[in-house]
Amino acid sequence: MMMTQQALWQHVNRVLVAKCISELQYEECLVPEGGADCWTLNLASGARYRFFAWQSLWGQLRLNAESLMRNGKPVDSAAQFFIDAQGELGMDDIVLANLLEECAQTLQGDLQSWWLRQSVSARQMAQMDVDVMQPYLDGHPKAVLNKGRLGWGADELARYAPEYNQPLRLRWVAVARPHCVVGLEQDSDLDGVIKSAMSAAEYQSLRSRVDCLNGEWILLPVHPWQWQHKIRIHFQAWIARGELVDLGEAGCRYLPLQSIRTLANLDFPQAPNVKLPLTILNTSCYRGIPGHYIAVGARLSAWLDERCRTDPLLYDRGTLVLREPVGITCAHPDYRQVQGAPYRYQEMLGVIWRDSVQKNLHGDERAMLMAGFLQQDNQGDAVVKHVIAESGLPPRQWLRKLFDVVVVPLYHLMCQYGVGLVAHGQNLTLITENGVPKRLAIKDLQGDLRLVDQPFAELQLLPQDVRATLTRLPPEYLIHDLQTGHFVTVLRYLSALLQEQNLLSETAFYATLALSIAEYQRAYPQLHERFRLFDLLTPNIKKVCINRVRFIEGYADRAQRPLPILGTDISNPLRSAVRQEQQEIA
Ligand SMILES: Nc1ncnc2c1ncn2[C@@H]1O[C@H](COP(=O)(O)OP(=O)(O)O)[C@@H](O)[C@H]1O
Ligand SMILES: [Mg+2]
């Protein structure tokens, strides 16, 4: 399918407006009217949007983007949509103008994504290595403006944004050790991660430059953009005093992954990934590295890894922790003294080294970011369809295997250990063998892992300082890491996609999920009390609205990351699916 530049521009705008109406209707900002498949959205501004759509089990409208009309003409501007809906979205003009900038940046990314995907089919994407596939992914499914990267211009996007598929080289600095907070699993890891990122000769050369300096030094990689725009300016005092030494660019080629700030080593895919602070606003917040968890991060990941190796269920299902053996942060000498300073100033310099999933693959195993299963190619063909076909399993059996290795281990971690992990599609990686779901890899433990606020005996093995550092939540909140983080943020899209691709009905999808959970619960009667604490079959689920936060909070600086807003409770699709299937069988 070739398109003119104008036709392509209209296409990406229309697709974005379709996503906006779908997500903002779900978040209850917009109330389209209609039924069957023909819908109308009348806005207070007088603009009228019409489209074809169907309503998913979550009550969300799934639009046919090509059918979208505004006042009788085909939709061609996402910016115009936001201007039209300003009243409903409750934005003042300051917020709206900022949002239009984020919208323009997102469209730029969407255009590039379309170009990149022109050269591949869903079938080809389904076969790609886990890191290589990431540039082809569409970004956060819930965030309507999911490629904001506020602070980056066209050249910087082309060099560093994942959809441009360009490797980069890291910059290296040595920082005087007293300035660093270091979290380690073992001392040798500190050198090991550096060696993994460059040739032996480059390592020797860097080392010899550091060894002739006085005192103890920590070697840190820095993202080239962060170096240019933040470090060499904001940390001038350390540079002037010789406490931060620039060692220049060196080492392997790294590919930006979906999170932009986590990069994979292209030359040695088994070497650790590196997560670096980038002081740009993307989706909900500035993407720095908070210092809060650094000291405990490595020991937390070691503890979780130990659980996965020794707990019979987690061992049996092969659940894998992508450990974070080294974490380092350096607080800025001035901003650290300003307690209420915006968080972006406190998180400029640091690194987290993380196991690569590739290191852990055996035989015919292949890994894919969970978000990959939601991806379609430019023709609308779905990646998941090809993975299911490869497995040779009927879709329902394939899904059952998926739930058994993804949802059950995550739920077990919560019930047995009181651990919740924000289980969205960018934090989970599925390992398949010949297309069959085999096991789950979990990552992003610093900040995205929380503990129950109750004194579970199982948590006693976790060192006291680690426990004290992590967020503790009551069970009814912790369960959202699964219900909101996974069911709403991943499964909501997967079930609708499978239905649209005529692979499986949504009812069958959630009935299968309920069966998988029920079978697990039957096998673990000793956890009966915990299942009541973490009840996945409650009639209603709280609705978390991530887009509305932006409309209300705007873009002004804040001391803390913004918190999401709650909408009206959702009726739990697991319950309704089970009931409906029972009726159909009866
Ligand atoms: N499918 C997705 N779900 C959630 N976040 C996503 C998705 N795709 C891309 N992202 C982006 O990933 C980032 C969050 O990941 P982050 O915590 O920074 O890195 P990591 O998981 O590597 O530690 C956000 O900027 C978010 O927009
Ligand atoms: Mg993440």
Tell me if the pTM is above 0.85. yes
Which residue's alpha carbon is nearest to atom 7 within ligand 1? Answer: 140
Work out which ligand 1 atom sits closest to the CA atom of 444: 23
Taking the CA of residue 352 as reference, the ligand 1 atom at the shortest distance is 23
> Ligand 1 pocket test: which of 136, 163, 426 has the largest number of ligand atoms within 8 Å of its C-beta?
426
Cα distance between residue 231 and residue 220, in whole Å: 12
Which residue's C-alpha comes closest to atom 9 of ligand 1? 139
Measured from the Cβ of residue 471, the count of other Cβ atoms closer than 10 Å reads 15
Whole-number Å distance between alpha carbons of 186 and 176: 20
Question: For position 3, what pLDDT does the model report?
Answer: 87
Question: What is the pLDDT, as a whole number, of residue 576?
Answer: 86
pLDDT at 126 > cutoff 70: yes
With a 6 Å cutoff on the Cβ, whether 324 touches ligand 1 is: no
Relative to the alpha carbon of 485, which ligand is closest? 1
Mean pLDDT computed over every residue of the chain: 96
* Ligand 1 contact, 147 CB (< 6 A): no
The protein residue whose alpha carbon is closest to atom 12 in ligand 1 is 259
**Residues above pLDDT 90, as percent of the chain:** 94
**Contact 199/313 with Cβ under 8 angstroms?**
no
Angle, vertex CA 413, rays to CA 571 and CA 305, nearest 5: 145
Give 564's pLDDT tier (boundaries 50, 70, 90).
confident
Question: Does the pLDDT of residue 307 top 80, yes or no?
Answer: yes
pLDDT of residue 562: 82
CATH 3.30.310.280 domain range(s) in the chain: 5-120
Phi, psi of 150 (to 5 degrees): -65, 125
**pLDDT at residue number 124:** 98
Q: Which atom of ligand 1 sits closest to the CA of residue 371?
A: 1
Measured distance CA(279)–CA(274) in Å, rounded: 16
Which two structure tokens, joined as six digits, stand for 49? 């949007």
- Tokens found for residue 143: 């965030």
| Residue 170: C-alpha distances to residues 303, 359, 472 (Å) | 30, 21, 36
Residues 15-21, mean pLDDT to the nearest whole number: 98
- The size of the chain, in residues, is 586
Q: Does position 45 have pLDDT exceeding 80, yes or no?
A: yes
- 210 C-alpha to ligand 1 centroid (Å): 34
The residue to which tokens 């939601």 are assigned: 374
Q: Which residue has the higher pLDDT, 35 or 84?
A: 84
Contact 361, 347 (CB under 8 A): no
Round to whole Å and give the CA distance between 234 and 236: 6
pLDDT tens for 421-446 read 999 999 999 999 999 999 999 999 99
pLDDT score of 231? 98
First to last CA, the chain: 47
Q: Domain 374-585 is of which CATH architecture? A: Orthogonal Bundle (1.10)
Of 10-24, 373-387, 559-573, the least confident: 559-573
> What confidence tens digit (pLDDT) does each residue in 517-559 have?
999 999 999 999 999 999 999 999 999 999 999 999 999 998 9
Please say if the pLDDT value at position 497 is more than 90: yes
Distance 330 CA to ligand 1 centre (A): 23
| DSSP sequence for 323-365 | ---EEEEE--TTGGG-TTS-GGGG-SEEEEEE--GGGG--TTE
Q: In the chain, where does the domain assigned CATH 1.10.510.40 lie?
A: 374-585
Whether residue 262 has its Cβ less than 6 Å from ligand 1: yes
* Residue with CA nearest ligand 1 atom 15: 259
Strand partners of residue 287 = 278
Q: Which residue has the tokens 């996965």?
A: 308
Question: Could you tell me where the DSSP H helices lie in 218-293?
Answer: 224-226, 232-234, 236-240
The percentage of residues in the chain with a pLDDT greater than 70, rounded to a whole number, is 100
Residue 334: its pLDDT value, please?
98
Helical H runs in 27-144? 78-84, 86-89, 93-117, 122-127, 130-133
Instruction: Reply yes or no on whether the pLDDT at 577 is more than 90.
Output: no
CA distances from 467 to 248, 453, 470 (A): 38, 10, 6
Query: Ligand 1 centroid vs 140 CA: distance in angstroms?
Result: 7
User: Is the shortest distance between the CB of 429 and ligand 1 below 6 Å?
Assistant: no
- CATH of segment(s) 5-120: 3.30.310.280
Task: For residue 4, report the distance from its CA to the centre of ligand 1, in Å.
Answer: 32
Res 95 pLDDT > 80: yes
The minimum-distance atom of ligand 1 relative to the CA of 282 is 25
36, pLDDT greater than 90 = no
Strand partners, 433: 365, 436
CA of 142 to the centre of ligand 1 (A): 11
Does the pLDDT at position 187 exceed 90?
no
Q: Could you report the per-residue pLDDT of 457-492, keeping only the tens digit for each?
A: 999 989 999 999 999 999 999 999 999 999 999 999
Confidence of residue 188 (pLDDT cuts 50, 70, 90): confident
- Would you state the pLDDT for residue 67? 98
- Rounded to whole angstroms, the Cα distance separating 383 from 370 reads 11
Residue 579 predicted with pLDDT over 90: no
Please report the pLDDT score of residue 84 as a whole number.
98
CA–CA separation, 273 and 255 (whole Å): 10
Binned at pLDDT 50, 70 and 90, residue 1 comes out as: low
Q: What φ, ψ does residue 406 adopt, rounded to 5°?
A: -110, -65
Which of the 8 DSSP states describes residue 260?
S
CA of 485 to the centre of ligand 2 (A): 11
C-alpha–C-alpha distance, residues 81 and 16, integer Å: 10
For ligand 1, atom 11: residue with the closest CA: 259
Please tell me if the CB atom of residue 446 comes closer than 6 angstroms to any atom of ligand 1. Answer: no
Q: Which atom of ligand 1 is nearest to the CA of 262?
A: 22
**Does the pLDDT of residue 227 top 90, yes or no?**
yes
Mean pLDDT of 253-274: 98
Task: For residue range 318-347, list pLDDT tens digits in order.
Answer: 999 999 999 999 999 999 999 999 999 999
